[in-house]
Structure 1
Amino acid sequence: MSEYNVKHLEMIQAIIERMGNNSFIIKGWSFTSIGALFAFWFSNTSMWYILLLNFCVTILFWFHDAYYLSLERQFRRLYDEVRLSDIETDFRMTPKQEEGDFLIALFRPILKYTYGLIVIATLILLIVFR
């Protein structure tokens, strides 16, 4: 493997790490925001619209987290392409998008169970207390 290919792999790896870090930050912000909204709602359960806001915020963070996960997966594929290639690299940093990348990321078990359970719990509370 040439020195250029190694440098290209290092650049791609840095992007993969950044996507993983962004996803981690999104999870932190989402749990903080969702927890604060639940705490605010528990202090006054007659304010049902807080649950509706919590539902929307959860969906927003779920999509945002899935976006970073889908990008990370695309860059992992690009990393494998460069790693397995025998030709000199062109330093291409645009990963190939495959159809359904975002939907696959959206319903990965970690996201589906984390955000999905919050959405279901919020909907149940919204139905019961509305």
Structure 2
Amino acid sequence: MDDTRIAHLTMVQGVIGRMASNSLALKSLAATVSAAIIALAAAQSGQGGNFSTVALMALLPLAIFWFLDAYYLRIERAYRGLFDAIRRGERLEVFAMDYRPYRANIMMTLRIGLLNPVMAVYPALMILIVVIAMIVGGAHVGT
């Protein structure tokens, strides 16, 4: 394998690594934002606000983070296709970084978000928020 192809593979591997890092950052940010909204809801309920309504507002940012994470995973898979093409020695422009030709065989973003086990963190957070909203919201109704 020549030095140019190795350098090209290294460049693409760097992009794949950044995509994986972005995915991890999104999961971390989603958990942080959810916790912050739950804390805000708890503070609001202490002042006579409706805990359940505010807590359930955390579901929208979670859904957005979930979609973004699936989108990053889809792009990462496309770059893996580019990586494989370079590795196999397919005829490409030197240092080409266009991943679009390799995304044709990749599942749609929404399907990736629903079927990939890595994405299970988002439904788990959503269920946790709903359960907390039901428990705490129910406790405030009885008081």
Aligning the two structures, in what range does the TM-score lie when normalised by the shorter sequence? Answer: 0.7 to 0.9
- Kept after mapping to 2: 8 A contact 1:5/1:88: no
Could you tell me which runs of 5 or more consecutive residues in structure 1 were left unpaired when the two chains were aligned: none
* Correspondence 1:1-130 to 2 at 5 A: 1-43=1-43, 44=45, 46-85=50-89, 87=91, 90-95=94-99, 96-98=102-104, 100-107=107-114, 108-111=116-119, 113-124=120-131, 129=137
Query: For residues 70 and 86 of structure 1, what CA distance do their matches in structure 2 show?
Result: 22
Distance 1:89 1:70 in 2: 23
1:91 deviation in Å?
Answer: 2.1
| Per-residue deviation, residues 40-79 of structure 1 (Å, max 9, x unmatched) | 2234272333123201011011111111111111111111
Give, in angstroms, the shift of residue 37 of structure 1. Answer: 1.2
Structure 1 or 2, whichever has the larger Rg, is 2
TM-score (normalised: structure 2): 0.76
1:127 CA drift (Å): 6.4
CA contact (8 A) 1:4 1:89 kept: no
Go from structure 1 to structure 2 and tell me whether the alpha carbon gap of 1:48 and 1:42 turns closer, same or farther (over 3 Å shift). same
Q: Which moved more, 1:83-92 or 1:30-39?
A: 83-92
| C-alpha spacing 1:10/1:25, structure 2 compared with 1 (3 Å) | same
Distance across 2 between alignment mates of 1:103 and 1:75: 18
Seen in structure 2, the aligned counterparts of structure 1 residues 88 and 106 have a Cα distance that, compared at 3 Å, is: closer
8 Å CA contact 1:22, 1:68 repeated in 2: yes
Q: RMSD in angstroms over aligned alpha carbons? A: 2.3
Identity of aligned residues (%): 27
SS, match of residue 103 in structure 2: coil
